[in-house]
Structure formats: structure tokens, C-alpha cells
Amino acid sequence: MVKICCIGAGYVGGPTMAVIALKCPDIEVAVVDISVPRIDAWNSDKLPIYEPGLEDIVKQCRGKNLFFSTDVEKHVREADIVFVSVNTPTKTTGLGAGKAADLTYWESAARMIADVSVSDKIVVEKSTVPVKTAEAIEKILMHNSKGIKFQILSNPEFLAEGTAIADLFNPDRVLIGGRETPEGFKAVQTLKEVYANWVPEDQIITTNLWSAELSKLAANAFLAQRISSVNAMSALCESTGADVTQVSYAVGTDSRIGSKFLNASVGFGGSCFQKDILNLVYICQCNGLPEVAEYWKQVIKINDYQKNRFVNRIVSSMFNTVSNKKVAILGFAFKKDTGDTRETPAIDVCKGLLGDKALISIYDPQVTEKQIMRDLAMKKFDWDHPLHLQPMSPTTVKQVSVTWDAYAATKDAHAVCILTEWDEFKSLDYQKIFDNMQKPAFIFDGRNIMNVNKLREIGFIVYSIGKPLDPWLKDMPAFV
Ligand code: NAI
């Protein structure tokens, strides 16, 4: 029986390994992590991450050919293939701070693999890493190997949170990069055979190591760029009376462009887009390509611009102050169907409103109060001033409340901001919400999920990104 071990039981390691276990009953899969609470949760009824369809698969395979453990060394020692799916956040201090990927977790995983191995292994980069990382990993492994042979493969993950299981069942492609040597080709073939259990072979792309590593950064940069492109257009739509939904539909029907990923919004979030583009920018700078670096940096700048623009629109619409006004925040996760809040635009929007002394009341169906408070305590990421943790001042903490119901969040509020496109927000009783709000009652739809005309009929003043402006908003002084 082939044995697989995956280091890192996170948003990628957990779902990918669960699907491998389901699709390959002859393979034994162990997912290991240094975090005891995370592994305990994987072994419990309440999994550590929310992902539609995941629970069923884990329940089917756990204890049969899928195991979650903190005994990292034992499972690595026994494995034929070791996936490394640890976090690779942006460096916050030292050389490259604010841009470069922090490979501390990766390096310590690689050193541990070299230390504990007693047989040859294939080591697979599952994490998103800077191009050429495999070379560094190879050096660490080879210099500590005690004669054991390692083959490094790059197998970046393209799943999207919220649809991870569907993406893993039916991937557009699986990408495997390896060394172009007989041993490298053999290792690529071994991993290919694992995926071939359910992925058609023509959808398994094999490349050299550097192409595979760079393709993942490039794919995320292209995806984020589409969002920034349509968001940039949304600002122009508001100034001209065009409707961004109509524009993106008209643009997206061109088969050369395609219709996906063209929805205007308050901005992109998630743990990957910003971090991977920052990393790409840093790599370009390090390779003496400042023009290329500037080009990609602009994708992040537009994303920051869009979040600021949204906050400014709220404040300027509400007579240029939100001080002591209750503002309901519907949705805190960075997208629907996940509880993940990493880099969610909600953090920036809430902080902007808190800076103007608003009283914010937050509801998200999947995010806990503890998580929201932790996120709001983080100092805002800034290109030139990398992250530092600082506690929220006691006064600011008092400005925030978290509810478990959209109606409680919106009661007596002056404004409602929709920051995540959860389906349940579309079917709320907006008449009831309107009746219980202060007047004039505002709705700021940061995801364009609402029927603007229906809300206006109820009496709301509505702002929806990139849509023709409400007469009220047109008449307000142009601060945005
Ligand atoms: P995560 O933070 O959810 O999980 C990483 C896990 O690795 C944590 O549980 C941590 O405790 C564990 N870990 C760190 N060092 C370890 C060590 N030395 N030994 C054992 N466990 C260790 O991260 P996530 O979201 O799963 O991302 C992992 C990688 O996959 C990142 O490089 C990310 O960029 C990439 N990725 C993430 C996607 C996503 O949607 N979240 C999609 C595609 C790629």
C-alpha cells in the first residue's frame, strides 16, 4: 500500500488529502500538523474548517485510509510521498518584509523530513512558494540526507475556498512539475498515477519545476488582475452612469475574455491573492525587472483603492460622518461558503468605519466573535509598513458588537453594508429591516447581490458598486 503523508492540516492539506483518500482506497493518507487543536478538531465532529461536502468525505474515510495526527515524524518516516502544505505567509520583518514569502515553516518541515527519513521519498510542494524554492529545498534535503534519495515535485493547488471539494473532484487541470532527469520523470509519473484515479490524464499537465512553481503565482496574479480590472471600471461606471454588471456581461461574452471572475465588488480577499502577488512583485524586483514589478503591484493598489472608495462612499453619503451611528455589517468572511477571514475586505471596511467612530454590529453565519475581534486587532497591512500586531484600544472595542442574526445586527442601524455574498442575505425580509432602522435608511451593497429597485421601492437609499447612483448619492458632495 502506497503511503502518503501531508504536513499541514489547513484549508489545502485537509480537503486535498480527504479527496485523495476517498478516490484512492488503496492509498493510506496521514495528515499531520504541529497544531494540537487543529488535529483534535479534524478528529472530532466539528471540523476546523467549513467547506461544503467536506464533512461527508472525512466521515467516510477517517479511520479507514485517512488519519489526522500530531505525530509528524512517525508518519513522515513511513511515507513514500510527503506533501508539504504548510502556510507561506508574507514576511513581516527583515529582508523583503511586506513582500517576500516567509518560508520558515517550509524550511523547518524540510529539515525535519531529512532528519527522520530512513527510506527514499518524493517530496511534493503543495504550498504556494516562490519560483526556485524547490532548489533551496533540494539543497536542505541533500545536505542532510544521510544517503537517502529525495525527488522534489511542484504540485501547486488551484482549489478555491468555498468550492474546494467540487474543484478537487473536477479540477480544470492538475499541474505537476519535476526535474527533467530519469529519476525526476519517474517521480512525476508516480504522482500522476495517484491523480489518474479520478482525473482524466489529458488534464494532468507535467512541466519542469520552475514552470509549475511560477504558474501558480501567475494564475493567482491573473485572477486578481481581472477583479481589479472590473473594479477599476466600476469607479468609472459610477461617474458616467454606465452599469458595471452590463459592462462586464458585454465584455465577458467575448470568448477571448470569458465571463468568469468579472464581478465588481468591494475588493478581493483571501489568504492567497495579495500574498502571492506581493511575492511575485518581490521576485520581479530581485530579478531586476522593476517595470514588471510595478505592473503587478498596481493590482493590489486598485484593490486597496476599491476598499477605501467604499468606506468613503458610506461616510460621504451619510452627511460626511458616521460618528456614533450604528452600521450593520452583513458578512465578514472573504467570500461566501467559507469561514475564512484572512485578508477579507471586511477588515479594512470595518476599520475605516471605526476610524470615523461608527458603532458597528457584525453578523456572519460562519465567523465567530473571537475571530472577528482578532482580525480587527491587526494593524492594517500597508505596502511600506509591514504588519504589526497591536491591540484594539478599549474605546474601539466598545464600538464593535457581533450578533448571530442579521435582524439583530440591523436593528436601529443607520446603514447596512453587505460585505460577503452569502445567499441568505438575498432572502432577508428587507421591509422588516427597513421598518426597524433609523431614517434615512442606507444599504451599501459591496457584492452587488441585491435587487436595487426593490430596495428603493421599500424606501432605502441604495449604493451598489458600479451601478448608476441613487439620486440621493448624486446630490451629496463628491468626496469620493
Ligand atoms: P493554513 O494556515 O490553513 O494551514 C497550514 C498548516 O500548516 C497549519 O495548520 C500549520 O499549523 C501547519 N504547519 C506549519 N508548519 C508546520 C510544520 N513544520 N509541521 C507541521 N505542520 C505545520 O494554510 P492553507 O490555507 O492550507 O495554505 C497552505 C498553502 O497552500 C499556502 O502556501 C497557500 O498559499 C497555499 N494555497 C492555499 C489555498 C487556499 O485557498 N487557502 C489555495 C491554494 C494554495
User: Residue 371 Cα, ligand 1 centroid: separation in angstroms?
Assistant: 18
- Domain contains 215: no
Q: How many domains does the chain have?
A: 2
Question: Is the pTM for the entire model greater than 0.90?
Answer: yes
Kindly give the number of the ligand 1 atom that is closest to the alpha carbon of 105. Answer: 15
Contact of 13 with 83, CB cutoff 8 Å: yes
Domain end residue (candidates: 169, 199, 229): 199
Taking only the tens of pLDDT, the chain with its 480 residues reads 799 999 999 999 999 999 999 999 999 999 999 999 999 999 999 999 999 999 999 999 999 999 999 999 999 999 999 999 999 998 888 898 888 899 999 999 999 999 999 999 999 999 999 998 999 999 999 888 788 999 999 999 999 999 999 999 999 999 999 999 999 999 999 999 999 999 999 999 999 999 999 999 999 999 999 999 999 999 999 999 999 999 999 999 999 999 999 999 999 999 999 999 999 999 999 999 999 999 999 999 999 999 999 999 999 999 999 999 999 999 999 999 999 999 999 999 999 999 999 999 999 999 999 999 999 987 655 554 444 445 678 788 889 999 999 999 999 999 999 999 999 999 999 999 999 999 999 999 999 999 999 999 999 999 999 999 988 887 776 555
Cα 469 to Cα 142, 243, 258, distances in angstroms = 62, 10, 27
Kindly give the number of the ligand 1 atom that is closest to the alpha carbon of 272. Answer: 34
Q: What are residue 361's DSSP bridge partners?
A: 328, 401
The answer to ipTM > 0.95 is yes
Residue 327, domain CATH: 3.40.50.720
Q: Which of 5, 61, 237, 272 is catalytic?
A: 272
User: Residue 116 Cα, ligand 1 centroid: separation in angstroms?
Assistant: 21
- Domain contains 343: yes
Probe residue for ligand 1, chosen from 5, 33, 215 as the CB with the greatest number of ligand atoms within 8 Å: 33
d(CA 3, CA 148): 17
d(CA 13, CA 24): 16
- Same domain assignment for residues 263 and 159: no
284 included as an active-site residue: no
- Domain contains 352: yes
Structural domain span for residue 195: 2-199
User: Residue 180 Cα, ligand 1 centroid: separation in angstroms?
Assistant: 28
d(CA 453, CA 438): 20
Domain end residue (candidates: 199, 221, 244): 199
- Domain contains 234: no
Probe residue for ligand 1, chosen from 7, 12, 172 as the CB with the greatest number of ligand atoms within 8 Å: 12
User: Residue 87 Cα, ligand 1 centroid: separation in angstroms?
Assistant: 3
pLDDT of res. 120: 96
User: Residue 356 Cα, ligand 1 centroid: separation in angstroms?
Assistant: 35
- Same domain assignment for residues 142 and 256: no
Domain end residue (candidates: 199, 214, 240): 199
Residue with the smallest CA separation from ligand 1 atom 28 is 87
Q: Which residues contact 78 (CB under 8 A, 6 or more apart)?
A: 3, 5, 30
- Domain contains 148: yes
Probe residue for ligand 1, chosen from 5, 32, 54, 85 as the CB with the greatest number of ligand atoms within 8 Å: 85
Kindly give the number of the ligand 1 atom that is closest to the alpha carbon of 14. Answer: 26
Residue 329 grid cell? 455589517
